[in-house]
Each structure stands twice: as structure tokens, then as C-alpha cells.
Amino acid sequence: MRCSKLLVAMMGVFSVPCSLFPILSPAQGPVFHLGRTPTEAESKALDLSIEPSGRGLPPGSGTAQEGAKIYAQKCAQCHGPTGAEGPSLPGAVKLWPYSSARDGYVPPSLAGGKNGLEGIWASPVATTIWSYIRRAMPPGAEGSLSADEVYAVTAWLLYRRGVIQENDILDAKTLPKAPMPNRACVPWNFSCTEPAGATSDR
Amino acid sequence: MHSKQLGRRRFLKEGAAIAGLTAGAIRSASGQGQTLGSATAEARPQDSRAYGERSRFLNSVRTLDRTGQVTPLQDLMGIITPSALHFVQSRGYDPPDIDPRQHRLLIHGMVDRPLVFTLEELKRFPSVSRILFLECPGNTGKTALEDGAATVQQTHGKTSCSEWTGVPVSLLLQEAGVQAGAYWLVAEGAEKGNRAQSVPLEKAMDDALVAYGQNGEPLRPEQGFPIRLLLPGCTGGVNTKWLRRIKVLEQPELGIWDLQQGNAIRVSPDGKGGRLPTMPPKSVITFPSGGQRLPGRGFYEITGLAWSGRGTIRRVEVSTDGGQIWKDAQLQDPVLPMAHTRFRFPWNWNGEEAVIQSRCTDEQGEVQPTLAELSQRRGIRPGSLQSDWVADSYARLGLNAVQPWKVTREGSVSNAMF
């Protein structure tokens, strides 16, 4: 946006362009030589990114049949037996939100809200669901589900929504290909997930 | 924390060397990444003379609404929000308890040189300080309408303005060397749930900051201590707090947070970039405002705040007669882009009922709409009721409508939006 005097001065010293400008030029050498190179293991341990292509998905697999058991055990207390009931059940009030807000705030239902495309169903790709469960569910024990369990619960959700069959095996290869209900809308046209008229205002 | 470690361990299966991994910390298996400094928790002063407190006669505080803590705008002076009163919207997540000496920022993905920075190293980079507002996109939205918000704290309290200090993201990315073909990054927090936000590289390289300072001191835990992302002008939710990882990508990650109303990203048709939503121009009178009482006729200085995520506030007009006559308010320096701007307007109240309101114009020429204008834009019938707006999904995004306050003959001030 604008160069500080310091950065302008540095341009002379280090002969680099002011990087506050949006220059996406080919990579240049480091200037400040700060920081260190992470080991591969530590990068991998921290890397929770799952891309729409499926890149980042770990080995493992699961089916809706397996997922139903895990859902009943670890999810239903907040989301309800089918996912449409919650999360406004007694379990959810205790767990969500942790703090900062009065009782009564309710995250979107697993049924997808009014138009059926809210919350996890806003996404065109099932990687969104997989990644969110792995990161954030269940509240209080985030990150505790194994890869197999996350595949299985995701399969159960997709099966309930009619996206896949009960015995379909979800894994790193099949999950990104699941035909999500909102697959036509995003990522190239987000208007489908936005209330009409909102795009022009924001 | 312990269960999380175990979970990840199980999750990643054997072989992944993550001993010592805690939320918000990277410690390499080889023992690199030494701790920094000598400050310890034990040295924390207990004496209020060492870290000052306000007068015991003052009681202005954040209050809770259904989704977070809101700022008492009616009590603020100038443009800076005291850090202790900055609104908090963390989707229910408690701030993680991060030891800054253990915290690391990892930059990886489509870069030539993946890097890990300590806080001390981040502070060695050339720094930038900027006064910027942050506003939750749901401010003045559905919950405020449903709950019958009466005060400016309840109607508009999810906006705050601080002087933020940090290192430009562009410097960090240059250090890592962004590879050709990369158009996005994802910025991830260290809180439970590890919120991840996709950001177009163009925005990141333009004016994004990794901030470690807020109003002259380190960030407050609720605001992302020890480091957070700041994306000037954008909706509040995209400014990742407790930042621990930046991954450079070809395409957005499409995490659930990239798709949620209000904060949803836009992707360009060719996929090579996109944009984040920005906050539209908005202003509100903070004195006199809802819930206050004027002791009698006579002189009052009407004052309030105006801001726009699209640049600098150019003009604020005030009406004291229900919107018939509008006069320019005085803008108090400094008037800065993407910052709260204080306006003032002298008023002699004659003791009769009055409706006072403000409207602003930003440098793009965009004028803050009245509720009637917004209704028209949304196809809601004129003279629309509060219930119509509550039912309208657009209201969830928050309204930037002109806010009228009614002053009765008795001097009591109330919300006259509907």
C-alpha cells in the first residue's frame, strides 16, 4: 500500500523492491536471514491443511455403517440422533460455546439450515467436512478422533444426506470426489451460498 | 491439551515426531528452537502501582451478547479502544494460554524456503504500526435485532479500533520465497478448533500484518496473543488470532470458515486469486445514545464514530430533526483509512422531542444508507418492521444503516431504528 521510510531506505541498501506493494514477482533471495528451516517432521505434525483436491488427507478409511456407531457415541449428545435436532441439546449448551457468550447461541444444524446448504453443506467439497471434524470436533476433545473415525463420521454424514451409499468406502481418493449438494456453486461462484443481494454490498 | 496430544499422535500414526507439540508451539525433535528472553510468569507484578488500574469510581465494561463481548462505545473518547474493552468474538473458544517463548510461526507450502520464526525473530523484522478498526460482520445484525438492542453498546459494540504493531506479511513471504503459481495462503490459529482462513496472496502482500502489539503493549490474549493476522478493512472474522501457521497454496483451502456468511471468500473465475469481504461505510452517534438521559435543555456536543473498510472517511453529516436537514459534522484528526474516525457536532437542544442520527461517506464516495434505502435494496417493504429484518437472512450479516436515536422531552434517549 505504502512504503515506510525505513523500507524505502532498505530498498537502497538491500536492493529489494518495497514488498508492501502487491508484487507477486518470482521468488527472490532472503533479505533478513531470520528464522530457521523446520524439520520435515515438525511441519508435518502441524500441517492440518486439507486442500479441495484431497491433498493432505492422511491414510485411513471408513464407511457410514462404522460412522453411525461413532456418531451415536461421540456426536449425538449435542447434534441429536440424526443431526437435524441439534446442536441445541443439553450437551451442546455445556460444550458450546466454551465461554464469552450467554446460553442460546446455536451453531448451524447438520441438516444445513433453512435452505439445506448452510454450515458444512455450504462447501462444494467434502474435504471441508473432514477437515472441520478433525480440527474442531468433538468440543472438549478436539483432535482426538483417529483418521479412520473422521472418515467414518464423514461417510455417515454424506450417507444421511444421500451423497454416498451406506457401504461406500471413504478414503483419501474417494472423499474429494463425493458429489456434494453445493458442488456447482463454489468455488468459482459464491453467490449460491450467499443471500441474494449480499454480494454487491460486501 | 494432553488429550489433544494423544489424539494427534494416534491420528498421525507412528513415525511422526511430534513429541512436545502443544497447541501454539512448535518444538522440533532435534531440539532446535530455543526459548527466548528471561521474563517468567513469576515476575508478573501483583502491585497495581506496577501495572496501573483505573479509578475505582469507573465501571465501564464489556458486556455479553449471545455471541461474544461487546465494547461500550458510549464511554469511549477519541478513536482508540482500550485493549481491555476491545470486543471479543472467538466463536466460543477461550483464548489459548500461550507462552510466547514457546510459540512459533511456521511458513510453508509453496515456498522455496519453509521457515519457523520465534516471536523474538518476528520482532527483529522492520515493523509497522497502523491504527485500524476491526468489526465483526454480524455487528448490528440479527442477534441485536432479535434481542431488542437498546444501547449503542448492544447495537454497534462489535467494532473496536487499536494501534496495531507488527511485521508486514510481505516481508515474511519474501523471506520464504513464494513460488510461481501460488495465489492463496491459509492462516491458522492455535486455539481449540484451529480456525484456518484462506487469504488471497495479493491482499497478504499488499497490507497484511502479523501483529504482536496492540496500543503500545503486547496483544491481549482475547485478541490473539502473542501474534495475530491483521487484514485492514476486511470483516473481523478473517483476522486469524493466535496465528501459528501460514501455508502458501495454489487455491483456497475451503475450510468451513472460508464459506460462512459474512466472512465468505470470493474466488475469481480463473481461480487465480480472489478477495475477502470488506466492511462497508458505517457511523453511529455514541452521545447522546440509547439508554442515556439528558439532564435538561441546552448545549450538548453530539459525538460519534465513523469507519469504512474501503478507505478513509471523507464526510459525516448529522441530522437533529429526524432526517430532514443534514449538516456536516467536524472530523477530528487523525482521519485514517480503515480506522475509526471521531466526529463532533455542536447542538443546542430546545427541550422538544428530537431524532438525531449520523451518516458517513467514504473515499470511494459510498454513502451509508438509511434503513429505508437498505429495505428498498433488499426488497423489504418500506416502513419495515423489526420482525421483517429479523426474518431476512441478509440481516445476519449486520446492517450498516443510519442509526436514529430518539430524545424525548424528558431527555431520555432510545433506539429509533424501527
- Residues A8 and A21 sit within 8 Å (Cβ to Cβ): no
Query: Of B12, B92, B251, which is closest to A52 when you measure between CB atoms?
Result: B251
CA pair distance A69, A57, nearest whole angstrom: 22
CB proximity list for A182: less than 8 A, separation 6 or greater: A117, A121, A122, A123, A124, A192, A193
Chain A residue at shortest CA distance from B208: A20
The more confident residue out of A120 and B204 is B204
Chain A interface, best mutation among B11, B140, B397, B399, by max A CB count within 10 A = B11
Residue B8 Cα, gap to closest chain A Cα (Å) = 6
Q: Where in chain B is the domain with CATH 3.90.420.10?
A: 63-275
Q: What is the pLDDT of residue A23?
A: 45
Q: What percent of chain A has pLDDT over 70?
A: 66
Give the 3-state secondary structure of residue B154.
helix
A-chain residue closest to B263, CA distance: A202
Q: How far apart are CA A177 and CA A163, in angstroms?
A: 10
pLDDT of residue A3: 39
Banded pLDDT at A92 (limits 50, 70, 90): low
B179: nearest CA partner in chain A: A27
Grid-cell match 449480499, residue found: A198
- Rounded to whole angstroms, the Cα distance separating A193 from A123 reads 9
d(CA B365, CA B409): 36
Cβ neighbours of residue A12 closer than 8 Å, sequence gap 6 or more: none
Question: Side-chain half-sphere of B136: how many Cα atoms within 13 Å?
Answer: 26
Residues paired with B211 in a beta bridge: B166, B228
What nine digits make up the cell of B195? 480456525
Q: Do A36 and B188 touch (CB under 8 A)?
A: no
* DSSP E strand stretches across B47-172: 63-64, 69-70, 104-109, 115-118, 128-135, 159-168
Rounded distance between C-alpha atoms, residue A112 and residue A131, angstroms = 17
Distance CA B98, CA A38 (A): 20
Is A196's pLDDT higher than 50?
no
Round to whole Å and give the CA distance between B142 and B391: 9
Contact call for A22 and B251, based on CB within 8 A:
no
> With a CB-CB cutoff of 8 Å, which residues 42-81 of chain A face chain B?
42-53, 58-59
B176 and B113 in contact (C-beta within 8 Å)?
Answer: yes
- pLDDT at position B244, please? 98
CB B252 within 8 A of CB B186: yes
Q: What's the ipTM?
A: 0.84
Alpha helices of A15-112 — where are they, by DSSP H? Answer: 40-46, 64-74, 76-79, 90-95
Specify the pLDDT at position B40.
53
- pLDDT means per 10 residues, chain B with 418 residues, are 39 34 36 41 72 95 87 98 95 88 98 98 98 95 83 97 98 97 97 94 97 98 98 96 97 90 82 89 98 98 98 98 98 98 98 98 97 84 72 74 97 95
Q: Topology of B282-415 in CATH?
A: Immunoglobulin-like (2.60.40)
Residue A197: predicted pLDDT: 34
- Whether chain B has a CB inside 8 Å of the CB on A28: the answer is yes
Amino acid in the structure at residue A89: L
Chain B residues with CB under 8 Å of A98 CB are 92-94, 192
* Residue A107 confidence (pLDDT): 62
- A180 near A121, Cβ under 8 Å? yes
Mutate to test the interface with B, among A39, A42, A94, A194 (most CBs of B within 10 A): A42
What pLDDT, on the 0 to 100 scale, is given for residue A151? Answer: 98
Tell me if B159 sits within 8 A of B71, measured CB to CB: yes
Using a CB-CB cut-off of 8 Å, the residues of chain B touching A123 are 254, 256, 259
DSSP symbols for A87-118: S-SHHHHHHSS-SSS-TT--PPPTT-STTS-S
Residue B20: the pLDDT is 33
Q: Which residue has the cell 474466488?
A: B267
Mark yes or no for CB contact A24/B205 under 8 Å. yes
Q: Which cell is A189 given?
A: 461462484
Assess A12–B contact: CB distance below 8 Å, yes or no: no
Q: Which domains does chain A have, with CATH numbers?
A: 61-182 (1.10.760.10)
Question: In terms of CA atoms, which chain B residue is nearest residue A122?
Answer: B259
B216: left (phi over 0), alpha (psi -120 to 50) or beta: left
Number of residues assigned to chain B: 418
pLDDT digits (tens, 9 = 90+) for A3-43: 344 444 443 333 334 444 444 444 468 999 999 999 999 99
For residue B158, the 8-state DSSP code is: S
Least CB–CB distance from B29: residue in A22, A27, A42: A42
pLDDT at B61: 97
pLDDT digits (tens, 9 = 90+) for A124-166: 899 999 999 999 998 888 999 999 999 999 999 999 999 999 9
Average pLDDT, chain A: 77
State how far the alpha carbon of B315 is from the alpha carbons of A73, B247, B331, B367, in Å: 58, 40, 8, 9
Q: Could you count the other beta carbons within 10 Å of the beta carbon of residue B240?
A: 28
Spell out the residues 6+ positions from residue A55 whose beta carbon is closer than 8 angstroms to its own. Answer: none
Q: Which of A134, A135, A194 sits opposite B264 (nearest CB)?
A: A194
Identify the bridge partners of residue B274 per DSSP, sorted by sequence position.
B267
Instruction: Tell me how crowded residue A159 is: count the other CB atoms within 10 A of its CB.
Output: 20
A 112-131 near B (Cβ less than 8 A): 114, 118-120, 122-125, 127-129, 131
Judge: A42–B26 Cβ closer than 8 Å, yes or no. Answer: yes
CB pairs under 8 A between A and B: 278
Candidates 3.90.420.10, 3.40.50.300, 3.30.540.10, 3.40.190.10; CATH matching B63-275:
3.90.420.10
pTM of this prediction? Answer: 0.86
- The confidence score (pLDDT) of residue A8 equals 40
Tens of pLDDT, residues A108-118: 678 887 778 87
pLDDT of residue B394: 62
Say which residue the cell 464423514 belongs to: A154
Q: Scanning every residue of chain A, which has its alpha carbon at the shortest distance from the alpha carbon of B196?
A: A49
Name the residue facing B8 among A97, A114, A143 (closest C-beta). A143
**Per-residue pLDDT for A167 more than 80?**
yes
Cβ contact B157:B71 at 8 Å: yes
Q: Tell me whether residues B28 and A188 touch, CB distance under 8 A.
A: no
Distance from CA of A167 to the nearest CA of B (A): 23
Q: Do A105 and B114 touch (CB under 8 A)?
A: no
Report d(CA B181, CA B179) in Å as an integer: 6
